[in-house]
Amino acid sequence: MKKIGLLFTLFACIQSLFAQTDELKLDPVTVTSSFYETRASKTGRNITVITAKDIAQLPVRTPDELLRFLPGIDVQSRGALGAQSDISMRGGTFQQVLVILDGLRLNDPNTGHFSGYIPVILDEIEKIEILKGASSGVFGSDAVGGVIYITTKTFSQKRQAGNTGIIQLASGQLGLFSSSGYFSTNKNNQQFQISALRNSADGPQQRGITGFMRENAFSMAWNKKKGFWETSFRTAYNDRSFAAQNFYTSFSSDTAVERVKIFWNQLNAHYQKDKNQVMIYAGFKNTEDNYRFSSISSANSSFSNLFQLNALFLRNQSNNTKYTIGGQYIGRNIRSNDRGRHSVHQMALYGVWQESFNSHFSSNTSLRVEYASNGGWVFVPQLNLSYQLNQIQLRASAGYAYRNADFTELFNNYNRTGIRSGSIGNPNLQAEKSFNYEIGLDWIANANSKFSFSVFNRNSRDLIDWSLTAYADMPRKENLVVGGNYLLAKNQSNVQVNGIELDYLLDKKISATQSIKFKSGLIWINTDSKSGPLSFYLSSAPKFLANFATTFTTKFVDFNLTGLYKSRNERTANPILLPINSDYFVMNAKINLRFNKVKHVVFIQADNLFNSTINDFIGAPLPGRWLQAGARLVFN
């Protein structure tokens, strides 16, 4: 409780110190509510936006490390440097958050464990928008707990003329070596970008293996404007190998290693003339996953594909009325020695209507109708309302959300024989459905700071999660062993999540050479299952979560801190594996020394500054204090 008190004290001190007026934007532009660029205050939703400048200063190397410290996001990490992370919001499972890159969904058809594998480097990102709460009416399956919408520089409306190059190098303890490069050129309405990354660390010693991580990434993008058309294309490749000890099992014999390779291709076309816009998004994602439990076991090999086509017509009818009509196709398939061969097809029609009734009151209504070959028809309405009262913005949202099972939930361990324990897929799963509502307010305390308060509820039917199940109760026993205990993917009949959320944003220019930025969030969550004890991933959601990211800038030095405090259920383990404590606090720090007209930076960084013993999963401890140093060079 002392740590919670310190966080509240920090909020109060920062607010009192910098509660002077200054002209800064606390109402960012967002596209997550309708694909139309709209002020966040008009959406009726709680939305957080972080920009490229903020990202470059913080002590993070990968997108999932960044998300870990942003308000309202719970990132459960199994290893350092983005080896694998589960992203959840508002007490949901990690499959209930939709990650979108430049208008196309990233969520992998094989498993939600890969949602944090974002095939661009941090220097490519223009901004990240975090929409909290359900948004299936616009985006479809998986948008239950929230949406993380990533816009890259080549695909954004913002353009920087000329050439820009960025090189970053870092080295540190645990055999860390990190290098990345980014180059962009913009001339004659044509932009080209290329980037590459190499992350490598030996990691802490484990049982019979080190907690190593190796990642290689490459991305190339191109954008061209001609007349009323703008076309963008990206191809990207990401290859990561890492120690996966006890990522999926609690056995002491587990010395697993895993390799995941992702190939991403995307084409966007945008036509705009007068009041009309047409947007076309097309994408193909291929994921190869090879997992080996030990050096003497055979590997699980899976090849999954994701095809997407999304076409939209946007009409700016008047200053007060906008609407969007869209059609979408999603094709998913898998070929696996463990899960077999399967295909799923989804087709949807949807519409969004934005209406400003007067200068104070606006609405944002969406409706989606979708058919899935393995789940039938689903009908998804959503209503968002916003009312401005002086410095207070009142908002309310209500609607349905849904999620289709991924191939791991449907067919995990389906083709293997002699399974004694572990996670078993269930091909009879129904799509999960939920009714969601929230009410909240945003208070702009002054020109530099904003408080956001939300109360939310999610009532789920047929929620998909894993439950401990004895052999006698397994629906399919052909490849199982008598007397075994298994985690079976099941539909949980009735699960209710309630919560309170408080966010605080400060963006203050103190003087010509000094400024401070502070983003923080507190969330209290209560989860109740009417069908018995909480299932596996539901029980791992925090009961309380506080996270923050702050930067204090002077003429030549930046001081950056990120941190989180998490309180959750305790979990016991066998004597060999590390249990999960009921709470932990972790903070990272980074000092940037800028020179040569602030284009170049030398930095020192400490992850887990207080050397806390932390882990989000039994048997998968995260590194202790991790010191490193490096340089960041910008040329333009």
User: Exposed (0-12), middle (13-18) or buried (19+): which is 273, by Cβ within 10 Å?
Assistant: exposed
- Beta strands, E only, 373-514: 376-389, 392-403, 419-424, 432-446, 449-470, 480-509
Q: Is the pLDDT of residue 22 over 50?
A: no
Q: State the pLDDT at residue 62.
A: 84
At 26-35, the pLDDT tens digits run 888 888 877 8
Whole-angstrom CA distances from 419 to 252, 300, 515, 547 are: 17, 13, 58, 40
Q: Is the pLDDT of residue 253 over 50?
A: yes
Residues 308/109, Cβ–Cβ less than 8 Å: no
Phi, psi of 407, rounded to the nearest 5 degrees: -70, -30
- Going by their DSSP bridges, the two strands 29-30 and 38-39 should be labelled as antiparallel
Report helix, strand or coil for 63. Answer: helix
Q: State the pLDDT at residue 25.
A: 62
Q: Is the pLDDT of residue 598 over 80?
A: no
Q: State the pLDDT at residue 12.
A: 46
Q: What is the mean pLDDT of residues 508-518?
A: 92
Q: What's the domain count of the chain?
A: 1
Q: State the pLDDT at residue 8.
A: 45
Q: Which of 324-328, 330-334, 539-543, 600-604 has the lowest mean pLDDT?
A: 539-543
Phi, psi of 614, rounded to the nearest 5 degrees: -135, 150
Q: What is the mean pLDDT of residues 122-133?
A: 94
Give the confidence band of 540 by pLDDT, cuts at 50, 70, 90. confident
Q: State the pLDDT at residue 406.
A: 96
pLDDT, mean over the chain: 90
Q: Which residue bears the tokens 């291929």? A: 286
Whole-angstrom CA distances from 83 to 100, 115, 299, 422 are: 20, 12, 18, 21
Give the confidence band of 16 by pLDDT, cuts at 50, 70, 90. very low
- Helix (H) / strand (E) element for 66: namely helix 63-68
Instruction: Please give the residue range of the domain that contains residue 461.
Output: 2-635
DSSP 530-553: TTSS--TTGGGS-SEEEEEEEEEE
Q: Residue 452: beta bridge partners? A: 442, 503
Q: What is the mean pLDDT of residues 343-354?
A: 96
| Tokens, residue 573 | 């383990």
- Beta strands, E only, 228-320: 229-243, 257-273, 276-292, 300-316
Q: Is the pLDDT of residue 556 over 80?
A: yes
At 576-594, the pLDDT tens digits run 677 777 899 999 999 999 8
Give 42 or 559, the one with higher predicted confidence.
559
- Beta strands, E only, 102-208: 104-105, 125-132, 146-152, 162-172, 176-187, 190-201
Q: Which residues of 162-180 are buried (b: 16+ CB within 10 A; e: fewer)?
A: eebebbbebebbbebebeb
Give the confidence band of 110 by pLDDT, cuts at 50, 70, 90. very high
Q: State the pLDDT at residue 10.
A: 47
- Beta strands, E only, 404-446: 419-424, 432-446
Q: State the pLDDT at residue 255.
A: 93
What CATH number has the domain bearing residue 391?
2.40.170.20
User: Letter for the amino acid at 43?
Assistant: T
Q: State the pLDDT at residue 573.
A: 65
Angle at 69 between CA 72 and CA 243, to 5 degrees: 115
Q: State the pLDDT at residue 31.
A: 84
Alpha helices in 326-457 (DSSP H): 407-411
Give the confidence band of 574 by pLDDT, cuts at 50, 70, 90. low
Q: State the pLDDT at residue 191.
A: 94
User: Letter for the amino acid at 332?
Assistant: R
Q: State the pLDDT at residue 39.
A: 86
Q: Is the pLDDT of residue 182 over 60?
A: yes
Please choose, from the candidates 252, 254, 261, 270, the residue with its C-alpha nearest in 3D space to the C-alpha of residue 312: 270
Q: What is the mean pLDDT of residues 151-159?
A: 86
d(CA 49, CA 40): 9
Q: What is the mean pLDDT of residues 271-290?
A: 96
Q: State the pLDDT at residue 171.
A: 97
Q: Which of 243-252, 289-298, 387-396 has the lowest mean pLDDT?
A: 243-252
Q: Is the pLDDT of residue 575 over 60?
A: yes
The model's pTM is 0.93
At 261-272, the pLDDT tens digits run 999 999 999 999
